[in-house]
Amino acid sequence: MRDKKADRKKLLQDAIRVDILEAAESILLENGMEALTMDRIADRAGVAKGTLYLHFKNKDEVLSAAQEACFNPLIQDLHCVFESDLSPREKLERHSLLTMSFFEERINFFRIMVANRFFTPKDQSHFEENSLYWDFFKKIEQVIEDGIRLEIFRPVNTAKAAGIFLEIGSALLIQRIYSKSSSSPADDADLHMDIFLNGIAA
């Protein structure tokens, strides 16, 4: 009985947290960073201010959590790609297209965060164990190793190749955020794969 009550309480707390994060993102997109206050977040989420502070100490904590929650759908999609029966090349292509499309769908959110120096695509410490970057780095490296074993890719240093793949993608994402690129996500994904696989030699 206690377990059921605890489960219900956790579900309720999780739902409140989701409401808070969605409220913060909607305020941010509608009115910008200056309009984002704890009072407005609580009002938009339909919770008491005291309840808001039970979940988050301040606005920065809300923004950090909103950013993390924003990435969850992409992370889940990418994990599905890595666990699929796609060929190594198809996995890299799908990774690139999903990432480019994800950022495009949320481009205004990221532009606001970048403009206020709250987020950059390089925030995650590169090669720091247990980081999100490291997790995907190892998965990309495994895909490249599989491609070499299947003779789809030529033998290369897989760790360096995985880093190059991720950094080319990051560079294209930075351009999409900062320069308001007119190219489509599919175009940039194709360019990503072309440069990674073929280089730029004529």
DSSP 26: H
DSSP state, residue 35 = G
Question: Quick one: fold of 71-198?
Answer: Tetracycline Repressor; domain 2 (1.10.357)
CATH code of the domain occupying 1-56: 1.10.10.60
Counting other chains too, the contacts that 166-169 makes at CB distance below 8 Å and 24 or more residues apart are 166/133, 166/136, 166/137, 166/140, 168/192, 168/195, 168/196, 169/95, 169/96, 169/99, 169/100
Residue-averaged pLDDT of the chain = 89
**Cβ density class 154-175: b for 16+ within 10 Å, e for less:** eeeebeebbbbbbebbbebbee
Q: What is the pTM of this model?
A: 0.84
Domain ranges of the chain: 1-56, 71-198
Per-residue pLDDT tens digits for 127-180: 566 678 889 999 999 999 999 999 999 999 999 999 999 999 999 998 888 887
